[in-house]
Each structure stands twice: as structure tokens, then as C-alpha cells.
Amino acid sequence: MSRTYNFAAGPAALPESVLRTAQSEMLEWGKAHASVMEISHRGKDFIALAHESEADLRKLLQIPQNYKVLFLQGGATQHFAQIPMNFAVGKSADYIVTGAWGEKACKEAKPVTNVQIAASSESTNFTTIPERSTWKLDPNAAYVHYTPNETIHGVEFQYIPDVGDVPLVADMSSNIMSRPIDVSKFGVIYAGAQKNIGASGLVVMIVREDLLARCPKDIPKIFNYAEQAANDSMLNTPNTFGWYLAGLVFKWLEAEGGLAQIEKRNIAKADLLYGYIDSSGFYKNPVEKSARSRMNVPFTLPNEVLDAPFLKESEAAGLMALKGHRAVGGMRASIYNAIPIEGVQALVNFMKDFAKPNG
Ligand code: PMP
């Protein structure tokens, strides 16, 4: 075995026990006498799997009854466009932009509807979250869209913003399942699966039922969330393997003690890494402390010429995918749910060793 600690931003590390279960069930799943990839999504076995994974997700996130859960495709990016198509008909939408993904969501909505940037932290290079009191919200907006965790810039909201009666829409791709959340505060939550849920190619959406009445009848059915809800996310063939894998991850989360327990671990992991970075006098994280992400930790070295040796040596030490996103440079450690504290400790130990001769 040569599996390493994988700090990739997504697709990202999965719990090893989940991969082992998938491996052991690869040829024959349950009573199906076939792989889960080889059976009909409309057969009773798969329908049972679909129901069970939804029930497990509902339990983990304590999703209220008046919310639908959808298992969709297209990546979060497709839903940047599809969300305004469904929910912003005849109205403009407000966007809070605290990083590259919020910016992209806003850009993708523009061909579909009028958008207004109600707040942005671009002027600080996305290292802060604008004070809630400075947001210029339109009380008649169709919704307020924000990105609770910005994967590239490493900026995370530590609170759910109050936006009054306007539905709050959250791209939770990179921090869903990392902590308990009060779903009732949201109109729509959506997330690509390839960080804390499973494999890419699956998007989980949690949508308040009353909002589905807004979905226009004159868009293609396949883009219509109300149609997807009415058809249990099976308007066409869903990503069956991705759905199965998500179900395994939900079982793993339950076995680990649920989201309150996972949150404790994530806090300990983030504290360990930021604590070292801040005390090192060598590495730097540019994000304002109150806005730092528990999931994605970007950091720079004192001199860019050290980046290449850092990456080479870290890989040799069994620490993978630490290269930062090209938009911000430097390094980034993504420490999602599947990264154990031992992995973060191994990273910190390596960072200390690297800093010594280079400091
Ligand atoms: N939103 C966020 C917060 C992301 O981190 C990503 C991917 N890294 C996306 C959206 C885009 O997801 P996808 O590639 O699944 O479209």
C-alpha cells in the first residue's frame, strides 16, 4: 500500500473504510448478484438504497419535513445557472461574493437574470467577509446567494447570515457535512459531492418545498427542480454509483458520531494547522482570523523559489496535492472530513522540518 495523506481540494480524500466497503462490494452488491453500477435505477434494490441514503442524510443534517432532497448531476457549476433559471423568474437576485466561487456563481447567473452584487470582499483580495451591516440587500430580490466556504481563498462564514424573508441560497460544496447546520434558515443548499460527500458527478440539493412552486413550466424538464422533486431525482438515469458512495459516506459519518463529533475534530485539525502557521514566523495565511476556513487552508512560504522544493519534498514525505490554486499561489491544505488529525500532524511536522534549513 502506498496511499498518502491527500490534501486535494476536490476530488478529495475519502474515508478509507468507505473505499474498502466499495471495493468489497464491487462485484456483488447486497442481494443483487451484480455490481450496484449494473442494476436498474428503477429496480427495488436501488430504490431502497436511494431512500436509505436520503433518510441517513436527513438524520445527519436534521432536515425538516418541508424540505426536499435531490440527488442531481452537472456539478455545482451547472446549478450556478440552473438556480436562477428556476428561482429568479422576473426578479433580480442578490449575490454575496467572498471568493472565486461566489464570483463564478454570479457570472453564470447573469445570462439568466438580473444580478446585483450586494457585498463583495474583492477589495481585500477575498481575505475577509464584509460586515453584514454593509450588505446592500434588495428586499424584493428572488434570493440571496452566498458561498459559506470559499475553497480557493480559504474563507468561511462562521455564522448563517440573516437576510430576512428573502430565501438564502448556499453553495455548500466545500463545507457541507463538516458541522451541524440549521437547515431551516436556508431556502436552498446545494453541494457538489467530491469533497465531503463522495465522488464527483453528483450534486446534493436541499430545497424548501414552497420554492419549487417558482420553477417555470416553460424550461426544459431536465432543468426543472420541481420536476426532479416530483420524480424523486429520477427524471433520467441518475449517477447511481455516486449515489451509492454518498450513502456509504453518510453511514460512515453516523458511525463516527454524527456532525457534532465531526465538527469537534475539524476544529481541532484547523486549530493545529493555523496555530502552527501563525507561530512559525515562516509560513503565512492571509485570511482574517474570524473568516478562516476549517476546510481549506491556503498558506505561503517566505519566498516563491521555495515552492517547488516544498512540493517535491512533501510528496516524498507522503503528503499529496499541497499546491495552491493558481489564483492565489503558494500552498493549500484541504483538510476535509476524511483527513484524520494524524494527517494534519504529519503535515505540521513536515512544515517544521522544511522551515528549519530554509528559515
Ligand atoms: N463551488 C465551490 C465552493 C467549489 O469548491 C467548487 C469546486 N471546487 C465548485 C463550486 C464547482 O464545482 P463543480 O466542479 O462540481 O462544478
Task: For residue range 50-89, list pLDDT tens digits in order.
Answer: 999 999 999 999 999 999 999 999 999 999 999 999 999 9
Report yes or no: 174 and 350 within 8 Å, Cβ to Cβ.
no
C-alpha of residue 77 to centroid of ligand 1, in Å: 6
Catalytic, 44? Answer no
- Closest ligand 1 atom to residue 150 Cα is 3
In percent, the amount of the chain with pLDDT more than 70 equals 100
Strand ranges inside 121-231, DSSP E: 144-146, 149-150, 155-156, 168-171, 188-192, 203-208
| pLDDT tops 90 at residue 359 | no
Would you place residue 1 in the very low, low, confident or very high pLDDT band (cuts 50, 70, 90)? low
Cα-only R_g, the chain: 21
Q: Which three cell numbers stand for residue 113?
A: 437574470
Query: Dihedral sign, CA of 245, 250, 253, 255?
Result: negative
pLDDT (tens digit per residue) in 264-278: 999 999 999 999 999
Question: What pTM, to 2 d.p., does this model score?
Answer: 0.98
Q: Atom 2 (ligand 1): residue with closest C-alpha?
A: 173
Report the pocket of ligand 1 as residue ranges, CB < 6 Å: 9-10, 75-77, 101, 147, 151, 171, 173-174, 192
Catalytic, 195? Answer yes
Would you place residue 255 in the very low, low, confident or very high pLDDT band (cuts 50, 70, 90)? very high
* Residue 281: per-residue pLDDT: 97
Write the CA distances from 41 to 48, 69, 250, integer angstroms.
10, 17, 20
Average model confidence (pLDDT) across the chain: 97
Mean pLDDT of 310-319: 97
Q: Which three cell numbers stand for residue 33?
A: 448478484
Q: How far is CA 329 from the centre of its chain?
A: 21
Q: Atom 12 (ligand 1): residue with closest C-alpha?
A: 76
